[in-house]
Structure 1
Amino acid sequence: MDFKLEVVVIPVSDVDKAKDFYTGLGWRLDADLATGDAFRVVQVTPPGSPASVIFGAGLTTATPGSVQGLQLVVDDIAAARAEIAAHGVGISDVFHDEGGVFHHAGTTGRVTGPAPRSYGSFASFADPDGNEWFLQEITTRLPGR
Structure 2
Amino acid sequence: MTRSAKVIVYVTPSTKEEVERRAAHDGESVSTWCARVLDRALVMDAQDEISAEVRAEERLTELHSLAKDEMAAIARDVADMVARSSCYTVANWELLKREFEDSERREALSTGSRRLRQNLDIDISESSGTEGLDFDALRDNGGDDR
**TM-score over 0.5 (shorter chain):** no
- TM-score of the pair, normalised by structure 1: 0.23
Structure with a larger share of its residues in strand: 1
| Bigger-Rg structure (1/2) | 2
Q: TM-score, normalised by structure 2?
A: 0.23
The answer to which structure, 1 or 2, has the higher relative contact order (CA under 8 A, 6+ apart) is 1
